[in-house]
Amino acid sequence: MQSPSSILILTDQNSENKLSSYITEILQMEGFLEYEVKDLSGSELDVDELLRHDIVVLSNIPLSSSQKAILTAYVQKGGGLIGLRPPKELGFLFRVRPLGDTLSERYIKLETQHPLSEGMEAETLQYHGEADIYALNGAQPLAYLCQDLDCPTRYPAIATHEYARGRTAIFAYDLAASTVLFHQGRSSQSSIGDYPDPDSDGMFKPTDLFLNQIDIRLKHIPQADIQQDILVNIIEWMAGFTKPLPRVWYFPDREKGLVFIGGDSDGMNLKDFETTISTVEKYSGVFTTYLMEEQYGVVTPQEEQSLREKGHSFGPHLWHGQRPSLSEKRQGIKEEIKHFRECYGYTPLSSRGHSVIWVGWTEQAKYLSESGIRLSCDFTGGKYIGAGYVTGSGLPWKFINKEGHILDIYEQPYQICDDGSMHDKSCLPPLTLEEAIQRSYEFMDAAFKKYHTVFQLSLHPIYIGGSADLPSKEWLEAVLAKCKQENLRTVSADEWVRFNDGRRAIEFRRLEYYPKRGVLTFDFKGSIPVKGITLMLPVKHLGRAVSSVAVDNAPVEYNLTALGGTEYAVFVVDIRHTEWHRVEANYTGEQSFVGESFR
C-alpha cells in the first residue's frame, strides 16, 4: 500500500475562488512533487485521514463548522496547517484576531527578525487581491501589511505559530490568486475585458494586462517568485518536525540560473541570420529564432534541422494584425503553425508574436496550446513599464483560466529586448549600448546569485547582422562573453520545454524517515527521459545533518548550498526509463555546513 503524501491540499471545485487551485502549480514550480489534492465539494474531512499527512495547505475556500472543528483538532494533535486567506473564524487557530476589515492591492513588508525571513532578497513586495486585517494574538509576524512601500501597518500579512505539538502559518491574502494576478495581469484590461487597450496604442498587447498593476519601483524584482520562496521556507519549517522533504530544483545539473537568448526574424536576410548564429556559436551558446512566414525562405529546412541538432531552436513569429478578434487570432495561429509544420516537418514547441500581440486573458494561451505550442515567450514589460519582471517571475509558469483549469502551456517572460529598450517606443528614455549591457549584467547577476531564475534577452537578427541601426551585435557579444567567462549556461526554447516537462513528470512515493537511525528513504521515477535532474534534501533535520546519499544502493556525490535560508544537499540524476529508483539519505552527521555553490 502506498504511503500518504506529506502534503495535502484542500480545495473545493464549487468554490467561487477558482484561482485558489493555482496552489498546485506553485508547488510544481517549487519542486514539491509529493502532494495530494482533496476536493471538499464531494467529500468530508476526517481527523485521522488528515493526520496521515504532515502538512495541510488550506486554499481560499469556505468551510463548514464541522470542517473547521476537524482542522482545529488536526493542529491540536500535531499537524501543520498553512492557510491561504482562511475563513476568519479560524483566526484563533492561527493565533490572530480578525478586525472585520480588508486591505486590497497593497504591499507586504517582511519582518527581518523572523527566522523564516532569512535569505529573502527583498523586504517589501506587492500582493494582489484582498487581504483580511488581523491583530496579532500570539502569532509571530513574518510579514506586515503595508499601505505603501515605506508605510507598514501593525497588521500581519503572514504569521506563524508553534504549539506544543502542532504548527500553523497564515497568509492574510490568497497567495495562489495573488500569484495568478502577478503572472497574468488584470483580465478586465484584456482585449475582451471592460477596459481593453488601456495605454491607447491601438494594439492588444500583454503589457495592457499589467498597466497600473505593477509598481514600476519594484519591476526589477521577481515579486511572485520571492513570495513562493516564503511559502517554501514555511513548508521546510513545518517538515522539520517530521521528516525532510525532497525537492526537484528548477534547473538542470545544479545550475543556479539560465540564460535564454532569442530573437525575432522581422526583416532579416540570410547575412543577418548567419551573423547571429556564428556570433552565438563563437561563444558556445544557443539561440532561439522566431520566424515570420516571409522569412521561411531565408532558413531552409535542411539548415534549420542542422542547427536544431546543434542545440538551437526555432518557432513561428506569429502575426495576425494589431487588434485581431478572438476568432481571427485562433484561426490565424492554426493556419500559421500548419504552414510552419509543412515547411519544416514538425510542430514547433514555442512561439512569440510579432509586436507581441495578445488577445483575451488566457484565450490566446488556449489557442496556442490547441496548435501544439508548449511555450509562449510573449510577456514582457512594454509601454510605460520597460525592462523588468513584468509578471513577477522569471520562471516558466502555466496559465490558469477563470474556471480554475490550468492550461498545458508555459509562459517564459523575458526581461529586456533591443528595440524596446534602445528606442523610445516604451515611452521611456532609450538606453545607450553601455547602459543596455550594464542592465543585462545586473539582471544576470541577480538571476544567478539572488533570485535563481532565467534571464531572457530578445535581440533581433536584423540588428545583429547590421541591416538596421541598433548595436545589438555588440550587446549580444557582451552578454555571451560574460556567460563564457562565468560559465553561465544558455538554453534554447525546445531544450527548456523538454526539461520542464521531464522535471514535472517526476513522481515520489514511499517517503519515510526513521528517526532512531536517522535515515530518510523514498522512491522516485519519471515518465519522460530527461538528463540533469537536480534533487535537493534539507541538510539538517532534528539535530542531525546529511552524511551520505545513495541511489539504488550506490553512493552519489552531493554538494551543499544555501537557498532562501535553507541549507540543501543537492545531487544529479538522469531519468532514462520509467522505473522506480530508491534513495537513502543518512542523517547521522554533525550539524555543520560548508560550501555555497551548486557546482
* Statement: residue 449 has pLDDT above 80: yes
- How far apart CA 216 and CA 220 sit, in angstroms, is 8
Cα first-last separation, the chain: 38
- Pair (468, 566) in one structural domain: no
Is residue 286 included in any domain, yes or no? yes
Q: What is the DSSP letter of 123?
A: S
Distance separating alpha carbons of residues 358 and 501, to the nearest angstrom? 24
C-alpha torsion sign, points 304, 305, 310, 311: positive
Asked whether residue 484 falls in the same domain as residue 536, the answer is no
Q: Are residues 34 and 52 in the same domain?
A: yes
Q: What confidence tens digit (pLDDT) does each residue in 53-104 have?
A: 999 999 999 999 999 999 999 999 999 999 999 999 999 999 999 999 999 9
Same domain, yes or no: 147 and 274: no
Cell 500548419, located at residue: 338
Which CATH number covers residue 106?
3.40.50.880
499, 514, 532 — which closes off a domain? 499
Which residues, at least 6 apart from 298, have a Cβ–Cβ distance to it below 8 Å?
265, 268, 269, 270, 273, 291
Question: Which CATH number goes with the domain that contains 522?
Answer: 2.60.40
End of a domain among 184, 206, 231? 184
Whether residues 511 and 470 fall in one domain: no
Q: Which amino acid does the sequence have at 50?
A: L
At 383-393, the pLDDT tens digits run 889 999 999 99
How many distinct structural domains can be found in the chain? 3
Q: How far apart are CA 75 and CA 72, in angstroms?
A: 5
Element (H, E) at 239: helix 223-239
**Boundary of a domain, candidates 130, 160, 184:** 184
Percent of the chain with pLDDT over 70: 98
In this predicted model, what pLDDT tens digit does every residue of 552-562 receive, in sequence order? 999 999 999 98
Q: What is the pLDDT of residues 342-379, one digit of tens each?
A: 999 999 999 999 999 999 999 999 999 999 999 999 99
Query: Are residues 468 and 581 located together in one domain of the fold?
Result: no
**Is 224 inside a domain boundary?**
no
Q: 145 has which bridge partners?
A: 108
Distance separating alpha carbons of residues 206 and 209, to the nearest angstrom: 6
Q: How does residue 594 score in pLDDT terms, banded at 50, 70 and 90?
A: very low
Whether 388 and 460 share a structural domain: yes
Give domain status of residue 221, yes or no.
Answer: no
Residues 434 and 519 in one domain: no
Range of the domain at 559: 506-586
**Cα 186 from Cα 491, distance rounded (Å):** 30
- Per DSSP, the three-state class of 188 is helix
**Torsion region of 164: left, alpha or beta (phi above 0 gives left; psi -120 to 50 gives alpha):** alpha
Alpha helix positions (H), 297-398: 301-309, 326-344, 363-370
Q: Domain for residue 229, yes or no? A: no
Are the C-beta atoms of residues 247 and 539 closer than 8 Å to each other? no
Distance of CA 534 to the CA centre of its chain: 16
Instruction: Determine which of 213-222, 439-448, 571-580 has the lowest per-residue pLDDT on average.
Output: 571-580
Our CA angle for 521, 524, 530, nearest 5°, is 140
Same domain? 541 vs 556: yes
User: What's the burial of 22, exposed, middle or buried (CB within 10 Å: 0-12/13-18/19+)?
Assistant: buried
Residue 328 and residue 402 in one domain: yes
Q: Are 229 and 484 in contact (CB under 8 A)?
A: no
**Do 37 and 103 lie in a common domain?**
yes
Question: Distance between CA 76 and CA 49 in Å, rounded?
Answer: 14
Answer whether 153's CB lies under 8 Å from 323's CB: no
170-182: average pLDDT: 98
Q: What is the pLDDT of residues 288-328, one digit of tens each?
A: 999 999 999 999 999 999 999 999 999 999 999 999 999 99
| 94 belongs to a structural domain | yes
- Cell, residue 227: 513570495
Residue 563 has pLDDT above 90, yes or no: no
- 7, 26, 23, 171: which is closest to 91 by C-alpha? 171
pLDDT at 599 over 80: no
- 227-257 per-position pLDDT tens digit: 999 999 999 999 999 999 999 999 999 999 9
If you average pLDDT over every residue of the chain, what do you get?
95
Enter the DSSP assignment of 266: T
Residue 359 lies in a domain: yes
